[in-house]
Structure 1
Amino acid sequence: MKKFFTLVIVSLLSAMAVQAQTLKVTKTDGSVVTYNAKDISKIEFLPALSVSQPKVLHEFTGYLTVTSSLFTNKYYGDAAKIKVLQDGDKYIAQFSDAQWGSGSFDITLTRGQISGSGEMTIVNPRSGEASKYSAEMSGSMTNISIKIPSLMQGVTINWHYGEVPVALKVSGNYSGTTSLMVGTTMGPYSSATVSYTITANEDGTINVTAPQEHYKDIMMVGNLTIGSYVVKNLSYDESSHSFVRNYGKDDVKVYLKSEGGVMSLDKEYSFVDKSEITVKLEENGSLTIKNDYSLARMPMGLSATYTGTKSK
């Protein structure tokens, strides 16, 4: 091909020497440049100049916690990526996550601290449409905060580098079924479609919110409703890989109401000593809650086992 162009140019110059003695070049923008043939010694077709690409300085994968007006410190998985690039004298930070979208930020780096502004693109999970939001980035290379004031009345995405705390892994809303034993022989009785909520505390403990549960045809009691209550500060036990708390002295109370049985229940009861709850996240992602408890002025203890999966 190069030889072909050389021949063409030689022929062109020969023709020019005989005829017009000029070379007219029309550019793509419409402008025209004219040269005298005697001033041209050689014409070459050179490859286009390559554009330098930004240099990747750092690239990490971490986990997310998100806070908004609707929820606080909610865990959103451990696959979010942060990439820091250098483009000449500029620094750029790029964020990407399957659920919380992507963003690019012009940043400054000062002794390991990041600060800057940019834009996030997030897909609405309901409509499937992507929207762009102005955002601010700040923090260190291991803990980065992205604030989006115009999304959901203010959203803060917190990216963390490191191992995910167990309390965060287990946190969330779960849907499942509770099986209840009254004493050691009566039951099991079932309460279906039950939603438990697990929240993580900053000290690594968790809180468990038990929902209202309904059981039918319990001996002597009839239909029983157990009200909602919260057990706080369950500590993680390394040996059993579960969160445990004896909450009988925590002044936790629950409302019981029965209908159609010999025993009539319609008041609030206190949990007493040796009431113990155990929460364990199984390897398959399901949650098991074992709750053995006794109530003041009740003749028999109760044992509840809940099995659920995290709601999406």
Structure 2
Amino acid sequence: MPHTELSHTPHVAVIVFNDFSSYHTSVPGIVFSSRTLNETLFELTFVAGEAGSIVSDIGMEMQAELDLSVLQSADIIIVPYWRSADERPNQTIMEALCSAHARGALVVGLCLGAYVLAYAGLLTGKRSATHWELERDFTQRFPEVKLDTNALYVEDEGVITSAGTAAGMDCCLYIFRKYYSGTVANRLARRLVVPPYRGGGQAQFIDQPIPITTSDVRINELMTKIRQNIGKRYTLDELADSVMMTRRTFTRKFHKATGMAFGEWLASERLTLAQDLLESTELPIETIVDRIGFSSVLTFRNKFKERFSVTPNHWRKTFHHDI
């Protein structure tokens, strides 16, 4: 749950290493920067994780003036990336991370940063996320870690890990929301021109990304019409006729175009709209259910909780903001 009052400005320490990823490092840099919303909501510092020059994978040099002693007092410590799954981090940084976690700091590994946390033993017995392409390698190296390849990010006992690239942004926005209200977090997301969350709940799972458009023109046109009339009841036979296909052909083509069965896609679209209505309106649950097209309130609540791991009422209490 987001905090509405804080005793102090949370200190975020981002650790950088030689051959760092400029993109992955810039994500926490922009999310927690005072310049993004022109307001100091976090104290942000960059810390050198090793001696010597700190140069990115594309030749950008960074002057990280602070050393690892900063980790003794930071509230949030982020390892935004790691240069190689095969390389074990230096013992000093691993001990510093373990010490920080032991005193209560939130320790975060974005993308391959999860490897640093796993090498340090911080993920032993815990759930974790990392880039899906590294599933086999990660599980072979760290069989004691419960890797969830479907999660955008995972929090388990004060340790957060995320999947690759854009999921780092999702993860940082999640951390932001832990400390400030949904209203402020949503304002930040709008400034960054990104969704404030994808999926939902605490871990925010997405089995498959929901496609906005596909390479099939007829399927695209049909998806647009359905979004405009999301509360209507649909049958596969009617939909197939509308695009001049047999039911079997339509079912096959829709799955090929979207990666999802039609019923799965429609439920995802309806749940996404339900999120927006829960956050931005005072509409009763019954009215929302009628508007988005679920057959009953009970069905809606079950589907919502199955997808987001929280009830619709809990979602509204957490993310609703005045408009």
State TM-score, norm by structure 1.
0.25
State TM-score, norm by structure 2.
0.24
Point out which structure has higher relative CO (alpha carbons under 8 A, 6+ apart). Answer: 2
> Radius of gyration: which is bigger?
1
